[in-house]
Structure 1
Amino acid sequence: MRKSHISLVLALTATAAVSTPLAAQAATFDYSRVENITARPIDSDHVLNFFGDPSDNQGFTGFSNLDFTAPDRGHLEISKNAPGNPAAYYTTGRPRSPEEPATGATRSTSLNDVTGFSNFFSYLNDNSISLSTIGLSYGQKSDRDFTDTWNLGEDKLGQDWFASPDSNLEERIYRANPDDVEIFISYEDTKIINFGYSDFYTIFDYGDSLGVTDDFDAILTDPFTADIVEGLDPF
C-alpha cells in the first residue's frame, strides 16, 4: 500500500502545522530530490494530526474525465516504476466527491492527536469534546460544480507536472480559483475555522520496484491564514 502524508502549513503567530500521521517513508524522504516544488514540511511545536480512513467514509477522491480525448482526462504516468495509469486530474475531499450514489461523507479527516495548542486542547477536555468530533475537509464549495475543485489546469509537462522516465519521482501542482474552493475545520457538522487558499503540491515517489509497497506520496501547501467563522454559538 502506498504511504501518504499531507502537510498543510498555517500562517499563525506561532508556526503551526496540520497533517496526517507521518509515515516512515515521509520521515526519511529526501526533499532535496524535489526540484520544481519549493513547499516543504515544517517542524513545529504546534501540530494538529488528522487521519481519514476510507473505511470510515473519509479521505479524498482523485478523478478524471473518462473520455480519453477530453482535456481533463489526466496525463499518463511516465516516471520510472510508475504503473503508467492516467493521473488524477481533479482532487477533492470525500464529502464533495462526484461519485454516484453520493458518498454521504461529512468530512475528509478526523482529529486524532494534538501537540501544543494548549488552550484549544484544554477547552476540548474541559467541555468533554472528543477529538474525533473535529474534522478537516477540503474541496469545491457546496454550490460549485465538482470540476471547480483543485485540478491540473492545462496538464502540461514542465508546467503543471514534472516527471521523467529516468526518475522515480513525479511532482504535480493542483490549482483552483480561490473563490471556488475551501479548506476548513468543523465541529461535528458545523464549520468553525476557514483556511485561506493554497495550491496543492503533490510528490510521488514510485520506489525502487514496480510494486506499491515502497511507494510514497506527499501533499504540501504554501502557508495560509486561519479565520474563525463568524456568528458561531458556543459549543
Structure 2
Amino acid sequence: MSATRSIEAIVVDIEGTTSPTSSVREELYGYTRTRLPGWLAENTGGAADPVLAGARAQAGRPEADVAQVAAILIDWLNTDVKAESLKTAQGIICAEGFRSGALFGEFFPDVPAALREWHAAGFALYVYSSGSVRNQRDWFEFARPGDLSPLISGHFDLSTAGPKREAASYEKIAGAIGVPAQRILFLSDHPDELDAAVAAGWSAVGVARPGEPNGPRPPHRWIDDFAEVQPS
C-alpha cells in the first residue's frame, strides 16, 4: 500500500447505501415478523432467553410473557427501533432463511464492482450497520450477485460498536481496526451518521440513491453511485 495514500479503510452502511431499504424492510423484516413468535416459544429456556430478558428490560415489562414479548419485538420491528434484543433474534431467525434459499442479500448494481475494485486496490473494507453482525455476514455471503464476504475484513453493529449517531462508536471502530481516524472513509445514506463519523475524525461521503428515504444534507459531499467514489 502506498505510503502517500490518505485513505486506508472504507466502512459502509447497508440499508440505503449498499442495498435498497425495501429489500431489508420487506424481505428481512417480513421473514422475521412471521417467524418471531414461534421462535421465541420454541427456544424459551435456550437461545431465546437473552432476547426475552433484553426486551423485558428495555420495555420496562419484567412480567411480560413470551407472547407479550413477541408483540413488543414486532412493534419495535415495525417502528424501526434499534433494539439489541430484536437484532439478536433477527440474526438467528434469518440465518435459517439465508441457508434455506428463502433470503438473499440484495445490492444496488454498482456496489459489487466497486467493492471488488477497492479490495483489489488494497483498501480494507468494513461494514457498520444496525443489523446484527450475523445478519450482515449472511447478507454479504448469500448476496444475489454472488458471495461478497471475502471482500469484507470485519463487521460492526450496535452491540460491538454502539449507536450509529454517536461519535464514540466511530472512535471505537477505529481503535478496533487499528487505522487512524483520518484514514477511514465512511459511506452512509444517513446525515446524522455522517455527522457522527466526521466528529470522530473520519472522512465521510453521503449516498443519496433515487427512491431512498434519506436525502442530502450539507455540509457533506453526496453521491448516487459508488463509481463516483475514488479513494486515494
When the two structures are superposed, what TM-score results if normalisation uses the length of structure 2?
A: 0.30
The structure where strand makes up a greater share of residues is: 1
